[in-house]
């Protein structure tokens, strides 16, 4: 079935420019090296710090009622761009289409909220998907994004890593992480490069479509970005510890 759909679908300009054979998939998945992945998420966190300074500390986000997710995505991507030096081997873009998993010429391709795109092959994308979490328990859409899109290879077909951004209006990040871990289910671990951030990782086996050789092993990065002015539990604990020292 998958092969039939593939034959019916036309060829994009990107596919003409960067054709990918089955034998190349292992090499492609390695192009997002651990160093590049870390650099990408360092940019996300630094951009979030700018967003807090520029906007979040000056307003009450709980009063926003329209297009919160899209608005934050756009604001965050702008600040990532401002922080980039131009020497990175990737670009960043808001609302990036994934043509690889489009089902037909008439169907709209899936798109990522924010994505890092390799300059050497612009079909190879490290995607970020975002969801507003109004409370510590309101995670159903977040969980569905991981299960229905990332773990089925609909999202991130050429990359073995990707990120979920939780825009939190609740204040207890640890409780949110616990709920995510239970609902997926998975083990959430600290990332060694982001021990002072609300940044966890989980490792999964993906369901790769028949006839495809996308990476099976998949790592999901879970970043909780607080929109509230009030410090969350983890941040407050760090501040108290710092003051004691």
pLDDT digits (tens, 9 = 90+) for 143-160: 999 999 999 999 999 999
Pull the structure tokens for residue 10: 């036309």
The average pLDDT across 57-66 equals 89
The answer as to whether 13 is a domain residue is no
> Sign of the CA dihedral 176, 182, 184, 188?
positive
Q: For residue 3, what pLDDT is reported?
A: 38
H helices within 122-232, ranges in order?
Answer: 140-144, 173-183
The answer as to whether 132 is a domain residue is yes
- Whether residue 143 contacts residue 200, with contact meaning beta carbons closer than 8 Å, is answered with no
The answer as to whether 71 is a domain residue is yes
How many Å apart are CA 96 and CA 145, to the nearest integer?
Answer: 16
H helices within 56-202, ranges in order?
Answer: 68-83, 140-144, 173-183
How many Å apart are CA 18 and CA 7, to the nearest integer?
Answer: 18
Q: What is the pLDDT of the chain when averaged over all its residues?
A: 88
Tell me the pTM: 0.88
pLDDT 10s digits, 112-144: 999 999 998 899 999 999 999 998 899 999 999
Q: For residue 103, what are the β-bridge partners? A: none
Q: For residue 145, what pLDDT is reported?
A: 97
Q: For residue 127, what pLDDT is reported?
A: 97
Beta-strand pair 189-190/217-226 = unpaired
Q: What count of other Cβ atoms lies within 10 Å of the Cβ of residue 49? A: 12
Q: Higher pLDDT residue, 6 or 101?
A: 101
Q: For residue 26, what pLDDT is reported?
A: 59
The answer as to whether 57 is a domain residue is yes
The answer as to whether 176 is a domain residue is yes
Q: For residue 18, what pLDDT is reported?
A: 83
Q: Higher pLDDT residue, 19 or 176?
A: 176
The answer as to whether 14 is a domain residue is no
- C-alpha torsion 28→108→43→181, nearest 10: -90
Q: For residue 29, what pLDDT is reported?
A: 62
- Whether residue 114 contacts residue 70, with contact meaning beta carbons closer than 8 Å, is answered with no
pLDDT at residue 110 greater than cutoff 80: yes
Could you give the percent of the chain with pLDDT greater than 70?
Answer: 86
Q: For residue 102, what pLDDT is reported?
A: 87
Say which DSSP state 96 is in: E
Q: Using 50, 70 and 90 to split pLDDT, how confident is the model at 208?
A: very high
How many Å apart are CA 183 and CA 177, to the nearest integer?
Answer: 10
Chain centre distance of CA 129: 4
The average pLDDT across 207-231 equals 89
Q: For residue 25, what pLDDT is reported?
A: 61
Q: For residue 166, what are the β-bridge partners? A: 131, 224
- Whether residue 117 contacts residue 93, with contact meaning beta carbons closer than 8 Å, is answered with yes
How many Å apart are CA 174 and CA 37, to the nearest integer?
Answer: 24
Domain span holding position 196:
2-8+22-244
The answer as to whether 17 is a domain residue is no
The answer as to whether 16 is a domain residue is no
Q: For residue 77, what pLDDT is reported?
A: 98
- Total domain count for the chain? 1
Q: Using 50, 70 and 90 to split pLDDT, how confident is the model at 229?
A: low
Q: Higher pLDDT residue, 137 or 107?
A: 137
């Amino acid at each position: 079935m998958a092969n039939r759909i593939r034959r019916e679908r036309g060829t994009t300009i990107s596919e003409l420019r960067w054709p990918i054979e089955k034998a190349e998939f292992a090499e492609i998945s390695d192009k997002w090296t651990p160093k590049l992945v870390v650099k990408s998420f360092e940019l996300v966190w630094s951009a979030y710090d700018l967003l807090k300074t520029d906007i979040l500390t000056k307003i009450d986000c709980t009063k926003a009622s329209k297009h919160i997710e899209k608005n934050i995505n756009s604001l965050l991507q702008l600040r990532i761009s401002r922080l980039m030096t131009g020497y990175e081997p990737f670009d960043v873009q808001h609302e990036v289409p994934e043509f690889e998993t489009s089902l037909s010429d008439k169907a709209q391709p899936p798109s990522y909220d924010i994505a890092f795109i390799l300059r050497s092959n612009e079909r190879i994308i490290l995607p970020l998907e975002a969801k507003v979490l109004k409370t510590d328990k309101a995670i159903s859409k977040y969980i569905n994004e991981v299960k229905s899109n990332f773990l089925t290879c609909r999202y991130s077909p050429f990359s073995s890593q990707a990120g979920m951004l939780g825009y939190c209006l609740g204040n207890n990040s640890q409780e949110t992480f616990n709920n995510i871990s239970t609902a997926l289910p998975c083990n959430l671990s600290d990332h060694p490069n982001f021990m002072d951030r609300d940044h966890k990782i989980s490792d999964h086996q993906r369901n790769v479509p028949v006839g495809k050789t996308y990476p099976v092993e998949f790592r999901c990065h879970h970043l909780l970005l607080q929109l509230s002015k009030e410090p969350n539990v983890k941040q407050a604990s760090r501040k108290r510890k710092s003051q004691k020292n």
